[in-house]
Homo-oligomer: A and B are copies of this chain.
Amino acid sequence: MLSCPFPISDYPYITMAHGGGGSLSKKLIDELISPVFSNPLLDQRNDGASFITPGDSLAFSTDSHVVSPIFFPGGDIGHLAICGTVNDIAMCGAQPSYLSVGFILEEGFPTNDLWKVLQSMKRTADDAKVQIVTGDTKVVEKGKGDGIYINTSGVGVIKCDPPPAPTRVQAGDVVILSGDIGRHGIAIMAAREGLELETTLKSDCALLNEAVMSLIDAGIELHCLRDLTRGGLASGVIEIMDTASLSMEIDESTVPISKSVRSVCEILGLDPFYTANEGRFIAIVPATKQDKALAALRSHPLGNDARIIGKVSSGDPGLVTVKTSIGTHRILTMLSGEQLPRIC
């Protein structure tokens, strides 16, 4: 835990002036935000950060985070904001290097909550071995925001050639799921609605870059990677099959779902296939590489329950079917919205 040089007790709540570009903005940035993330690039205090890349292919991604509530079992908006962009970069087959952070704070937001979020971001960025090199802070009037929104964008170096993409998926490929699904969405809903569960259900929010690197280091030909966030497993695979103009069959019995997630989903009529995850992904690889890929992924703690859950075929373009436990088939279609809004 860093000690905080900013006098939180003098400014217990964020004011409009903290976003005005004057001395109070400068104080907030110089004494609260910048010291947490300090590194040579950020400390240049320029309009942007400058760095050299050794002639590589780069991946570039962005995500705004509006999760509510901002603190939830298994994480918070700061942890989520770093994981979200690190994971999007990892899904391009890249190792994330540099992140930017843009805060939109609501007037009246408790400064101590900002401090907690900043520390969580720092811990997660350190774990991911990424540096936060540039940033921006805006403040909007009370009632024009919801405490804190965080955009993170990032740049990473692509580590596999050619990089994974939905258009590279081929008939005959297998679909590997990295672990059990549905925990993030259900944990957020439980926190939001004050549900008392017998078990402590935590979000699966986690950094996926190392798990992806274990596949790349093993030399696996990665046709497509996708983290299963908003819209869950179902929306992820439908989107990929739609772009690839191929079809997929998933064997429901092979998809790991925890007892707690299954129970809450049954009680509330939710479908875990559509429930958001923040630490799970699928890898679509050639069938000939499935054993090697499974072994590589299972060597990482976030992939130790990895399974083959389905197979790609040249059937109806975009069609995803699920073989149920009683042997029937159901078609997965996209929901119009999300079962739970603002889960990330």
In the bound complex, what is the Cα–Cα distance between A235 and B80 (angstroms)?
33
Closest beta carbon of chain B to A228's beta carbon, Å = 10
Q: Which B residues are in CB contact (< 8 Å) with A18?
A: 337
- Chain A, interface SS category: mixed
Q: How far is the CB of A188 from chain B (nearest CB, A)?
A: 13
Q: How many residues of A contact B (CB 8 A)?
A: 89
Chain B residues with CB under 8 Å of A19's CB are 337-338, 341-342
Copy total for this chain: 2
A154–chain B nearest beta-carbon distance, Å? 8
List which A238-293 residues lie within 8 A (CB) of chain B. Answer: 239, 243, 274, 276
Q: Does A73 contact B (CB under 8 A)?
A: no
Interface residues of A in 213-232 (CB under 8 A from B): 225-227, 229-231
Would B336 and A138 count as touching, CB distance under 8 A?
Answer: no
**A198 within 8 A of partner (CB):** no
Chain B residue with minimal CB distance to A236? Answer: B21
B151 contacts A140, CB within 8 Å?
A: no
Nearest residue, chain B, Cβ from A153: B153
* Residues in B whose Cβ lies below 8 Å from that of A56: 52-53
**CA of A233 to CA of B60, assembled, Å:** 32
A57, B54: Cα distance in complex, Å: 9
Does A180 sit within 8 A of B, measured CB to CB?
no
In the bound complex, residues from chain B placing their C-beta under 8 Å from that of A98 are: 60
Interface segment among A100-108, A115-123, A301-309: the answer is A100-108
Which residues of B lie under 8 Å from residue A133 when comparing CB positions?
A: 60
Least Cβ–Cβ distance between A133 and chain B, in angstroms: 6
CB within 8 Å of B: which A57-73 residues: 57-66
The reply to whether A44 and B136 contact each other, CB–CB distance below 8 Å, is: no
23 contacts across the A-B interface (CB closer than 8 A): A15-B337, A17-B337, A19-B342, A20-B335, A21-B229, A21-B235, A22-B335, A23-B334, A25-B231, A46-B92, A46-B164, A47-B88, A47-B226, A48-B89, A48-B156, A49-B60, A53-B56, A53-B57, A62-B100, A64-B102, A64-B136, A64-B151, A100-B153
- Interface residues of chain A, those whose CB is within 8 Å of chain B, are 15-26, 44-66, 87-89, 91-92, 94, 98, 100-104, 133-136, 138-141, 143-146, 149, 151, 153, 155-156, 158, 163-167, 225-227, 229-231, 235, 239, 243, 274, 276, 333-338, 341-342
